[in-house]
Amino acid sequence: MVNLMLIDTNPVAISASLVLYKPDFVAVERTLQALECAAQTASEFYKLQLQLTLVDNSSDQNFDNSVSDWLENFRARVPSWSLQLILSKENLGYGRGNNLVIANARSTYHVVINPDLFVEENALLEAIRYMAQNPDVGLLTPAVFGEQGERHYMCKRNPTLLTMYLRSFSPLWLQSVLKSIVDSFEMRDCDYEKSIHPIEYPTGCFMFFRTGPLQAIGGFDPDFFLHYEDADIGRRMLQIARVVYVPQVRVVHQWARDTHRSLKAKLITVRSGLLYWRKWGGIFASRSSVGLPDVTHATAACGTQFAANPNRRILVTGAAGFIGQAVCSDLSARGYQVIGALRQQLDACASNVAQYAEMGDMHEATNWSDALVGVDSVVHLAARVHLMNDSAQDPLAEYRRVNVDMTMNLARQSATAGARRFVFISSVKVNGEYTPFGQPFTADDTPHPTDPYGVSKFEAEQMLSQLALETGMEVVIIRPVLVYGPGVKANFLNMMHWLQKGIPLPLEALENQRSLLAIDNLVDLIATCLHHPAAANQIFLASDGSDISIPDLLRRTGIALGKSVRFIPVPVMALRGGARLVGKTAVVQRLCDSLQVDISKTRRVLGWTPPVKVDDALLKTAQHFRRASN
């Protein structure tokens, strides 16, 4: 039997740089042999052009001669790589040494590798595949293990003076007392078996760059001699591209911390730490370095546009609500015949529709037959919304009565009436309450609702999916994150009141990331789901496509309001401790924790991109707020 192997015939050029300083030749040979093995594996699938440049920083004639002689004797053992040697006249340091190669690279990808780093056999193959499939990624960082198979936690958040001290100089007892700070810095709250992005501080032992973005940022900052140059380049790369941890790319590192070995090593570390701090700031907390407006998750795909049919009648429940009003207005403008389902006639003025169906108090026995006459599709928004302090004796029963029983009553009658599609607005709470930083929920994750509201929405989703199988009516489920826009209520409205009044806020130290959703983006997605053929019987997560920390949200909302934000520097630990004392743990947890969603499926399946940028949506929200306040 012949084994056929498909090879991508487009050449993939990879350059690599390896900086030496009085090297251990045994370790370097092992490094190069591992690269050769990985190159041979990758060459079974790609046509590779590989060039590795060694930069010898020893600045010692005897070592220079030794390195040159060794390389000439060893060259034949790595035939896949074209090897070059640069002999530096002085010790340039790690970053400047690599820059000698980066500046002249003519490659698709560039690898920065340590002389004691051993890639696994499929590391290059997996790296090339991932980068080819994700063109918005500028830097890939790998899973790092020790020689005994132990995991090294090398995905890190932006360093601060506190974390620099704790990891490099503090006594063991203090590291033990403040272990939670170090664990958070090393992103141990994330699942290292899954992809993590964005990575603010990637490991410097193996860095797989896309050469274009790397050269665009000028390579490493030459001011860093050793240490924290990787933290700096990670921050700068995040301004123009994504930095992603990919667990399928595995390496082994003969890692040995040199910070404590000598006074000279300690002084180098201190100098680099202070240089980083002067450049980026951060004593107890550091501002997020994610600068792109729309690179948090996957790149948008271009899709086919399907025009709305003006003859279609759409029934919208919850038409007088915050989202319902916007949906009715938008769909009417697109030419749909919109029927707003309202409790009473008085709500008609708020619903933005010419036609409405007065339904009274909607429940599990409501008769929808008149409202459904001639209806092509239903957008179901009406629900018992999430309440922070629910006073119901049995909250889950109340949520089920409205969010499950009423929903299914409407859905069954819609199917009987011949409705083609049923768009159900669910909630991200079906996925869960929070995410580890950099590991967003996806539409295909196993649901994990934790409160009665989330449970009821998930149960409705399951029953709707079953109804679709039984009746043929198409069901589309949308799980939005927190929605904001003109007329927003609850916590977002409170936040604008705080900013308007100039109240000092103790939230500057928060380093979380939150996905939000502008109401204009939500209604555009709903309109897309009404007519797009590929939306049928799918679940989509919905957000603005870019994540934001609470401090940045406050700053950007303040700009929209024309107000300066006043912060009080309070450590996160103190915030959480104070919340426990006053019984507000849940409120502060929502402020401190991250909740991110990955909308790549929504983009890919629907060819949909959020049409409204965050700052534009915040400005529109702020303008409405100011008018209402006046």
Give the catalytic positions in this structure.
Answer: 453
Q: Which helix (H) or strand (E) holds 71?
A: helix 61-74
Instruction: For 19-41, give the secondary structure using H, E and C.
Output: EECCCCHHHHHHHHHHHHHHHHH
Whether 242 contacts 295, CB under 8 Å: yes
Query: Alpha carbon 71 to chain centroid distance?
Result: 43
Contacts of 219 (CB under 8 A, 6+ apart): 95, 98, 99, 102, 103, 233
Distance CA 270, CA 161 (A): 10
Q: Work out the burial of residue 302: count CB atoms within 10 Å of its CB; fewer than 13 is exposed, 13-18 middle, 19 or more buried.
A: exposed
Whether 508 contacts 444, CB under 8 Å: no
Nearest to 289 by CA among 453, 117, 513, 88: 513
Beta-bridged to residue 207, according to DSSP, are 112
Whether 548 contacts 516, CB under 8 Å: yes
At residue 105, what is the residue type?
A: A
Q: How many residues does this entry show for the chain?
A: 630
At residue 213, what is the residue type?
A: P
Distance CA 369, CA 24 (A): 81
CA distances from 470 to 412, 466, 539 (A): 10, 6, 18
Query: Alpha carbon 206 to chain centroid distance?
Result: 22
Burial 241-260 (b: 16+ CB within 10 A, else e): bbbbbbeebbbbbbbeeeee
- How many Cα atoms within 13 Å fall on the side-chain side of residue 212? 8
**Token digits for 250?**
């595995």
At residue 390, what is the residue type?
A: D
Q: How many CB atoms lie within 10 A of CB 184?
A: 16
Question: What is the β-pairing status of strands 242-253 and 117-119?
Answer: antiparallel
Beta-bridged to residue 206, according to DSSP, are 113
Whether 540 contacts 423, CB under 8 Å: no
